[in-house]
Chain A
Amino acid sequence: MNTFDLNEVTIGYEQKTVLNRLSFSIPHGKITVLLGANGCGKSTLLSTLARQRDALGGDIAFRDKPLDSYRAKEAARLMTFMPQVNVAPDGLTVEQLVRFGRYPYQTFFKRYSEDDERAVERALAFTDTVSLRDTLVSNLSGGQKQRVWIALALAQESETILLDEPTTYLDMSHQIEILDLMYRLNRLEGKTIIMVLHDLHLACRYADHVIALAGGNVYREGSPNDVVDETFMKDVFGLKVIVTEDPLYGTPLCVPYSHYELNEKRPT
């Protein structure tokens, strides 16, 4: 089973089509990364998959059923989406925020239960935020904030997690921390992770499957080793690179040329 199957899907805004007649699948239980240049539509695609916006045409199947056939809360128990920028209301503590993750399990008559309590504790433990539980979200550092929002998503206990550039504003050590967390979620909990990432190097290291978008369509898809090479970099990013191997993990590592000859900096 695939998590998503897209057939001839067109995505965009009223005036402008961003992606035209896409057909591809996102495998179940894997880490999939959407790649592409700025403005290629990868975030728009992700938010369409996350039911944040409607596709302009075509069929999207989620777990073998039409994406729009799920009721809102039913979908929320199966998938969760983390936007790029999140702002918690003033005065909210970490635990209060994470508890919102249980919203899809609550109805008017069934409010906060022991199951909910357990899910919240698990989410806090998994993201290593237990000690922050009574801290105000607004007082956290960037990396901590991101872990807390991920905890909110985990409390939702959905199998599929979609994230829009979860590492954007973080320094390198926190980028690794967040991606390690995604890796553990995938390998230990069997979650399907689908994310948009900017850092190509880390994308290649962590992804099982990459889907590269260019020119309004899928340019190439497959494992990072199959997808990322010099032609790919030229076509998708318009950048001349040397592709070498990540010395630690053997995944593709792109070293870009600068546009100017930086002679004084190059050892002769």
Chain B
Amino acid sequence: MVGKERSEDMKKTWIKLLLLIICLPILSYISLRVGVITVSHEDVLTFRADGSSQAMIALADNRIPRTIVALLVGSVLGLAGLIFQLVTRNPLASPDILAVNAGASLAIVLVTLFGFSSIASFTIASLIGAFIAGVIVYLLSANGGNVMYMTLAGASLAALFSSFTQSIIAYEEGALDEVLFWLTGSVAGRSLTLVEALLPWMVGAVVLVLLLSKELETLSLGDQVARSLGQNVGVIKFVAVTLAVVLSAFGVALAGPIAFAGLLAPHLAKYLFGTAFFARLAGSALIGSVLLLAADILGRVILFPREVTVGVVLAVIGGAFFIYLVSVRQGVFKS
């Protein structure tokens, strides 16, 4: 009977994962069609990058890249958020709360200011900024290791970085218009070249995270128990957090600092999958993609024909969820 129950659970887990996976092509299809320029079902099916019609141009230059970017960025933010939450044992941890996104953004604005605009410089700046922010938050919250300290340190640092970023932009008005748009967190206006350049790295990092599943699961029992079980806790934490920072930096390089996706996705995954750990990990990535795609589509229809960027849509949804998390479920601060 026990075994049967367990296989029932497994079945449910797989069905839920499958449903999430099915959401991706459905949402992608909607994402390809919805927007100011009409793209018909036939256009999607007969797509050719030949610029033969307005629809084809819209698909090639806008819809296809933004759909791919939303899928990618959503999954990396979801995974990064879950890793941060697990390793820091802080249910409020995520790339945005821990200032990693803000650090990456500031670095990108800085290199843009100095005239660098290549994909490589963009990405490297993002990585460096993300790491510096991560290290500072770690140092600020190291003495105590308290959930509250870490959240406060991260949030304040994020605010500080953002104000630097804003000052630079206010000062360098005009020259950085493009960056300003990117800073609100948008999946639109990204070229496929950028996506192509980053894709292998992102896939690699995601695969590495999935391979770490068992280690991360063991770590969730606490450092002492994990160590007693023969885990090199320091090494695993370092590798996991490094991967999370790298994932966040890629996300920022592609879509700007998108808030709340990294916070929201792991919580929804935990709600859906409970302790089925691998499913929770894969689910965080899938839910992140679903969230970003859905928010991007929503942003295109909500004030039609104007577009609201995905960052703004998510900030509204995520903000509400964040308030729910800290007020209604006050227990999150106790763990």
Contacts and interface: CB of A to CB of B under 8 A. Distances in A.
Contacts of A152: 225
Interface residues on B, range: 10 to 19
A134 B3 CA distance: 11
B91 to A, nearest CB: 10
Nearest to A51: B227
B228 A89 contact: no
Contacts of B221: 86, 88-89, 97, 100
A83 B224 contact: yes
Interface of B: 2, 5, 211, 214, 218, 220-222, 224-225, 227-232, 274-275, 335
A86 B222 contact: yes
B268 to A, nearest CB: 15
A106 B231 contact: no
A156 interface: yes
Given A86-B222, A103-B218, A134-B5, A91 B275 contact: yes
Give the dominant DSSP class at A's interface. Answer: mixed
Identify the interface centre among A82, A91, A93, A100: most chain B CB within 10 Å of its CB: A100
A83 to B, nearest CB: 4
A44 interface: no
Contact of A82 (B2, B5, B228, B232): B228
A83 B228 CA distance: 9
Contacts of B214: 103, 106
A41 interface: no
A76 B275 contact: no
Contacts of A142: none
Interface in A193-249: none
A59 to B, nearest CB: 21
Interface in A42-93: 47, 50-52, 72-77, 79-83, 86-93
A133 B1 CA distance: 13
Contact of A83 (B2, B225, B274): B225
B5 A52 contact: no
Contact of B228 (A74, A80, A92, A108): A80
Nearest to B226: A103
A72 B275 contact: no
11 contacts: A52-B224, A76-B228, A76-B230, A80-B229, A83-B225, A83-B228, A100-B218, A103-B218, A104-B230, A108-B211, A153-B228
A166 interface: no
A9 to B, nearest CB: 19
B229 A101 contact: yes
A92 B275 CA distance: 6
B220 to A, nearest CB: 5
